[in-house]
Structure 1
Amino acid sequence: MSLMCRSIVSCPGLKRGVLSQFLKSNNSMAPQLRSVVLRSQPAAGGPTEDFWIKNERLNRPMSPHLTIYKPQITSMLSISHRITGIAVSGYIYGFSIGMMCLPASFPHYCAALATTSPALLVTAKFLLAFPFAYHTCNGIRHLMWDMGKGLEISQVYKTGYTMLGAASLLTLALLFL
């Protein structure tokens, strides 16, 4: 017990007295705590070979690349969720900083947009609406997963297609505003 306490207490950033208070209040857990030291073990009968050198010698890739795997709806929706989250955040930051830094007010720029071609306006609205709609609908799907619902693989695929349909409908609704 004292060896374990000495090794944990010597950890940088740990306030003095915190460990002793924890051990006093949680005596049932104290015997279960132990220090762990990680060491590389030599191969049977041979010297220890560095991990990176061994992987280089065996011509192993650093990590599997996306091109190795067949694209699936689950992985594509996950990647798209991250991309649309970045896009929505970028739009919010860009709009906020733009409104603080640009010389005219927001209504001035709305009036300027009204004079552009309808095709350009619909394209701009789509580029704003789709990431928001997709990220919102997929976020609701993720909240369902957090509640433990829809985690079976068949349900994951069904909710994925349902989410794509809902995001498309929401995007269309936002385009007509």
Structure 2
Amino acid sequence: MSAKSAQTSRPLSPFMLGPYYKPQLTSMLSITHRLTGVALSVGTIFLVAWLMAAAAGEQSYAAFSECASAWYGQIILIGFTWALSFHLCNGLRHLWWDLGRGFDLKTVYATGYAVVIVSIVLTASVWLVACCL
């Protein structure tokens, strides 16, 4: 077998999902962590728009509030809340790893599932409190 044919039959990266690499919890959490970081950056634009509307006066704030309270605004806000919760929980998990702890496979998966569950519970809790106020 030539070196050229051996190179073309192997995947280029272990992160090539699909036929070469089976998605695992760890890889999916890593990708989701990056995506939530991007979502938080984009969601910050929504937050800045809210502050600008509040500073622009009552009419601008009313228009923004109408969009934010519409179904699509609620989806954006819930998604932003979940992205923040997930990114926070997974960031704490990474800080734990920075201390050199939690690298055994059982703990990696347990903390991975905990990140997903806690982020959902945090999001639901924030929205339950917000709806009750």
- TM-score w.r.t. the length of structure 1 is 0.56
Distance 2:75 2:125 in 1: 14
- Given the alignment, which residue of 105, 120, 126 partners 1:168? 120
Q: Which has the higher helix share?
A: 2
Question: Is 1:91 matched up with 2:43?
Answer: yes
Write the mapping of 1:57-96 to structure 2, written as runs, cut at 5 A: 60=8, 63-64=12-13, 65-67=16-18, 68-93=20-45, 95-96=47-48
1:7 maps to none
8 A Cα contact 1:126 1:171, kept in partner: yes
Q: Which residue of 2 aligns with 1:45?
A: none
- Which residue does 1:17 correspond to in 2? none
**Alpha-carbon distance in 1 for matches of 2:124, 2:61:** 20
Pairwise mapping of residues 22-171 of structure 1 onto structure 2 (< 5 A)? 55=4, 60=8, 63-64=12-13, 65-67=16-18, 68-93=20-45, 95-96=47-48, 98=49, 105=56, 110-115=61-66, 119-171=71-123
Q: Mean Cα displacement is larger for which, 156-165 or 65-74?
A: 65-74
Residues paired across the two proteins, number: 122
Q: CA deviation at 1:160?
A: 0.4
1:87 CA drift (Å): 1.1
How far, CA to CA, are the matches of 1:93 and 1:115 in structure 2? Answer: 17
Deviation at 1:155, TM superposition (A): 0.2
Q: Residues 107 and 82 from structure 1, CA distance in 2 versus in 1: closer, same or farther, beyond 3 angstroms?
A: farther
> Unaligned 5+ residue runs, structure 1?
1-53
Q: Structure 1 residues 71, 114: closer, same or farther in 2, change over 3 A?
A: same
State the TM-score, normalized to the length of structure 2. Answer: 0.72
Radius of gyration: which is bigger?
A: 1
Question: RMSD of the TM alignment (CA)?
Answer: 3.1
Flag structure 2 segments of 5+ consecutive residues without an equivalent. Answer: none
